[in-house]
Amino acid sequence: MAKSIVYYLKKLTDRGKTIICTIHQPSSETFAIFDKICLLSQTKVAFFGTRENGLKFFEENLHLKCPPFTNPADFYMDTLGVDVNDIPNSRAEILGYCDKYAISEYSFDLSRKIDSVKPEYFSSPANYTSYKSTWLEQMTYLLQRSFFNYIRNRKVVLNDILMVFLPVYLILPTIHATIIYYMVGFDCDKNSFSVFLLTDILISNAAFSLGHILSVSTSDANFAISLTSPFIAIQMLFSGFFLRRAVRTPKFLSYIKYGSIFNYGYDLLMLNHWENVSEIECEYDIELLCLTTGGSVLNEEKIRRKNKIVLIIMLFFLNILFRLTAYLILWAKGRRSKVSYNKLFKKLKSKFTINV
């Protein structure tokens, strides 16, 4: 099947068309139909050129010769594939292959060909842009394509909702809130329970969003997990319950509570439980030792925000803020790696040109 498709694509090239396609582990007969190949590994180019030059580059520059009677595609897959038994060394070795290609004559020859066909105005930084469409146009088309893709694949979307979204973001927090609410012995009031449930869901989702930040901040999963406990501890420490009693806490640390999901969650739960309590029985004869109303409890805890809607909005805002922060970190890391690679490539290119 793959051979037939590639064969007909090859016939289109005979009519003057340029065909660019991706293929994974083609057979030797299918591989022989291609004029040029581009080998990618670890987000980098390991080789670009004709099939014949590919084998020549691996043999002369990397000292890796394709064994006789072996499919070159399989040889490339084995050479550029990561060894699961030794991932760090294997990745370093593959990146070394890519770096050797970047400073090889094949790479510089390709760059010279690209520069020779570029329009003159592309060389001017004022007129040059790597994208023909603006960011807003690209985002609009991507959202539109994603929407229509969901419409066409309703079963896939339904499975995503049932298997991922509902269990993680709604069902588990609901089960947790229901068990805790009735185990503690809160009032069996549907309004109070609804607020408690919504608070639990928002805090859980905000915690997931915070996990996104930790996940994209480092490439090491174990290190990201080790950062979770300190982050959660700081969030809880400055949630308001401890901070309100810490008289000697430096003032600049008090601002941390505004980014704590537990701060707004704690205030919201306190309001939900105590604001409608008009009388509290006192076990002592001295009334000064007792808080007789729910309002006095809130005043004692210094709960100044009396509006539940505002607290709910703040929790929802933190969800968006954490996810947006994770996206910006991921975007910055991708942009930084791209800029670093371009600088390295230009430096090596200029050095090679001087030597020649």
Collapsing DSSP states into helix, strand and coil, what is residue 276? Answer: coil
User: Which one is predicted more confidently, 261 or 124?
Assistant: 261
pTM of the model: 0.53
- According to the model, what pLDDT value does residue 352 have? 45
Residue 356's pLDDT band, with cuts at 50, 70 and 90, is very low
Mean pLDDT for the chain overall = 81
Give the span between the Cα atoms of 351 and 348, in whole angstroms: 5
Q: What is the pLDDT of residues 185-233, one digit of tens each?
A: 887 788 889 999 999 999 999 888 888 888 888 878 888 888 888 888 8
Cα 57 to Cα 47, 158, 219, 264, distances in angstroms: 8, 48, 32, 61
pLDDT at 208: 87
Q: What is the pLDDT of residues 41-99, one digit of tens each?
A: 988 999 999 989 999 999 999 999 999 889 999 999 999 988 888 888 999 999 999 99
CA distance 326 to 320: 10
